[in-house]
Amino acid sequence: MILAPTIRSHIEDYIKQQSYKLQHFANICEINVGTISAIINGTRPIAMNQLDQITSGMGLKKGYFYEMYAIEFFVKAAPDWRRLEPFLYRCAELNKLDCIKKVVIEVTEDRMYTSELFKVAENMYNKEMKPAAFILYECVAECEKYQHSERLALCQYRIFLLSCCSDQKVSERAAARFEPFVDRLEEEYKLDALKDLGNLYSAVHDFERLYPLTYKMENLAKSMKIYENKDNVSVKRNAIYPIFVYEGYSLIMRASCYSRIGKYEEALQCTLNYHQLIVTNPTEEDLLFINKFKKWGEINTYLFKLKLGKNEVLQDYIERVEDDGEELVIALFNIIQAANRFKFNINFLLGKYKDKIELIHIGSNREYSAQNWDTILVKFFYELAVYHLSRSNYDMGMIALIRSIEISNYINNDSAMIKCVNLFGEYRIFASEEIRTKYKHILQLKYIV
């Protein structure tokens, strides 16, 4: 039987091929010659730093032996955490995810290292080693799937966050898997989880799920504020934001729910409530968010008055946001939507901000999650298309409609795509040959035609 080569045999072969003395090779690797000898003879296991030094000394790419190391020390032998932990980090740094999968499947069979793996996953998550952290979270969750532990819930929360992406269907499936675990989370993590779920439901227009979630988040934040005010002991905060911020976000989300069904007076009341949030002895961080809520409250007061048909607020509304790129886009979307509904002319505004509209791109870097922003852009360009097409500005309308179709396809939003396709069909006769070619190409990619 031919034995599979080992790391030690590779080292021996290399030394022979190069006609090195053991001492010379040890000097190249900057490792004690006795240590090198013991490694080759199999009387001493290879530590991770020694493996990297030897790999470098042999002129090989860093991580060259990691697959073999995983098999020799963690699959065929009982794993030692002192070697396993640094191995996981090195693999994460080099993006050797297959090595991590192979090892953690083996070591989680007896659940001996579940707690340690969870700690490593959290550390990797915080260090932005997220693909590697995702693998560890899934393994830990699998080990604890029959338990009602906070650790299992936190794993599922991290898996949800790491699963969310531009594809809204994938994100919705991730939310459905995670939602049963929300109530098992520690309260501060639960606040963040409710906010993250709320952002997703808002992005995919699932207002039936969003509406009750806003009350759950508001009530939890209020109860935690009472507890926080009674306890003057300073403790590390697990929640991303100050507790009162979640109360404000819950009201913003609820206002969007009311707006969706045309209850603009109720949306105005929610806006007034977060505009006037009070915090006792606010910190600098608190003041930052208080000012944000005041700004958003003022802007959204104009918005909901506009949605009630009061176009006299239009100039104040646009002036309040015109120096803020993303808020300007939101304001223009709302104005275009109102113009379509109430049939008033906004050509002067569209002409004024023409250049900025052309520079709009997917992906938000600020207040909006990427998913929410991309959904907003789909609706923005759809409403802009409706505005232009209904006024016989066919070229501009078709350009806007194609952009909406492109983004709908990118985020895999079927309902938005269907609306766009229906609108294109209505005005197809006015589309240029270039627009028709683009349209056909997008739909071919979508496997519609």
- pTM for the whole thing? 0.85
HEC string for 332-351: HHHHHHHHHHHCCCCHHHHH
Taking the C-alpha atoms of residue 208 and residue 219, their distance in angstroms, rounded to an integer, is 18
HEC string for 260-281: HCCCHHHHHHHHHHHHCCCCCC
Per-residue pLDDT at 80: 84
Q: How many residues does the chain have?
A: 449
Q: Are 277 and 243 spatial neighbours (Cβ–Cβ below 8 Å)?
A: no
Taking the C-alpha atoms of residue 183 and residue 194, their distance in angstroms, rounded to an integer, is 10
Taking the C-alpha atoms of residue 164 and residue 425, their distance in angstroms, rounded to an integer, is 32
Per-residue pLDDT at 77: 81
**Contacting residues for 378 by C-beta, under 8 A, at least 6 apart:** 404, 407, 408, 411, 413, 416
**Contacting residues for 164 by C-beta, under 8 A, at least 6 apart:** 170, 171, 174, 196, 200, 371
Residues of the chain predicted below pLDDT 70: 1-4, 110, 146, 228-235, 363-369, 446-449
Helix 33-41 × helix 22-29 angle, to 10°: 110
Taking the C-alpha atoms of residue 388 and residue 408, their distance in angstroms, rounded to an integer, is 19
Per-residue pLDDT at 4: 57
For residue 277, the number of C-alpha atoms closer than 13 Å in the C-beta half-sphere is 33
**Contacting residues for 349 by C-beta, under 8 A, at least 6 apart:** 318, 332, 335
Per-residue pLDDT at 179: 94
Per-residue pLDDT at 229: 59
Q: pLDDT, tens digit, for every residue of 316-349?
A: 999 999 888 888 999 999 999 999 999 999 999 9
Per-residue pLDDT at 147: 73
CA-wise closest residue to 38 among 63, 11, 16, 77 = 11
CA-wise closest residue to 372 among 162, 194, 202, 176 = 202
- What domains are there in the chain, each with its CATH number? 1-64 (1.10.260.40)
Per-residue pLDDT at 233: 47
Kindly state the DSSP code that residue 74 receives in the 8-state scheme: I
HEC string for 314-383: HHHHHHHHCCCHHHHHHHHHHHHHHHHHHCCCCHHHHHHCHHHHHCCCCCCCCCCCHHHHHHHHHHHHHH
